[in-house]
């Protein structure tokens, strides 16, 4: 799901205080855990498409995860892989070596089902416009410059709507060009966490399940940061919640939302 040395997620109040200042996030929509739809809600829908992102909005997810890459002519698109080989049957090529016009001619939906024939690779700007005011964005910076992306975000008044998952160098640049933007460093193995918390003073920290633990969560909370973890699969949800995770990035947002709502309903019955 991600780069191994950089970012991810969240809390149950509108703002949280840390050494870096207030975290201007709304409360989670489903219980007290944020739901981030990995590559959008893509069960039966082409991933990283406007359709998958719209589905996540309709479900009531808190964030959609997008992967940003740069085309040959300097435009920004959401494609997870560096090539288009897996998305357009019979087509090959690197995203970085194709123009936006060339990429937009590709049908990336037919491989999922005939009802998605003609689905296109979305631009970064299209995603921002779709999501504004409806859902947050978990930006996985695959291959794109920080400054123009931040400028597009700020121009739409969305600095507080986007969580940035990127390399340490890219996140340092982000702080310079957009101090109000929200960075999400990922320490990788837990042995790197203490240094990250001390040096970067992040408001949000990301992790993957293989490096995750109750002590990881506690260290982040003690430092004033919230935590977003990538699931291994749905079987980890119970532990993730029990350990105090603030958010979960998932390939199963509909099921996770139902799971959180059921837990909330049970808790209300007990009270």
What's the farthest any 2 CA atoms get from each other in the chain?
58
Sign (positive or negative) of CA dihedral 111, 116, 119, 125: negative
* CATH 3.20.20.190 correct for 15-270: yes
- Predicted confidence (pLDDT) per residue in 83-132, tens digit: 999 999 899 999 999 999 999 999 999 999 999 999 999 999 999 999 99
- Predicted confidence (pLDDT) per residue in 57-73, tens digit: 999 999 999 999 999 99
Q: Which pLDDT does position 269 carry in this prediction?
A: 84
Residues of the chain with pLDDT under 70: 1-21
pTM: 0.91
Q: Which pLDDT does position 267 carry in this prediction?
A: 82
């Amino acid at each position: 799901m991600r780069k191994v040395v950089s970012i991810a997620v969240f809390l149950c109040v509108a703002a949280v205080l840390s050494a870096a200042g207030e975290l201007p996030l709304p409360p989670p929509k489903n219980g007290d855990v944020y739901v981030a739809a990995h590559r959008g809600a893509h069960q039966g829908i082409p991933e990283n498409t406007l359709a998958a992102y719209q589905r996540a909005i309709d479900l009531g997810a808190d964030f959609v995860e997008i992967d940003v890459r740069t085309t040959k002519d300097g435009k920004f698109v959401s494609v997870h892989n560096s090539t288009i080989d897996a998305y357009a049957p019979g087509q090959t090529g690197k995203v970085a070596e194709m123009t936006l016009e060339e990429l937009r001619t590709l049908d990336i939906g037919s491989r999922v089902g005939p009802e998605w024939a003609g689905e296109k690779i979305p631009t970064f700007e299209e995603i921002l416009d779709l999501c504004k005011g409806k859902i947050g964005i978990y930006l996985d910076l695959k291959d794109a410059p920080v400054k123009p992306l931040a400028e597009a975000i700020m121009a739409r008044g969305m600095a507080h709507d986007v969580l940035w998952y990127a390399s340490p160098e890219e996140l340092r640049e982000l702080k310079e060009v957009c101090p109000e933007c929200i960075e999400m460093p990922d320490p990788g193995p837990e042995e790197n966490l203490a240094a990250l918390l001390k040096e970067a003073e992040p408001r949000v920290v990301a992790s993957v399940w293989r490096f995750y633990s109750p002590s990881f969560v506690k260290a982040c909370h003690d430092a004033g940061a919230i935590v977003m973890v990538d699931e291994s699969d749905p079987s980890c949800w119970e532990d993730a919640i029990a350990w105090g995770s603030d958010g979960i990035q998932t390939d199963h947002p509909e099921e996770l939302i139902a799971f959180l709502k059921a837990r909330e309903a049970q808790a209300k019955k007990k009270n």
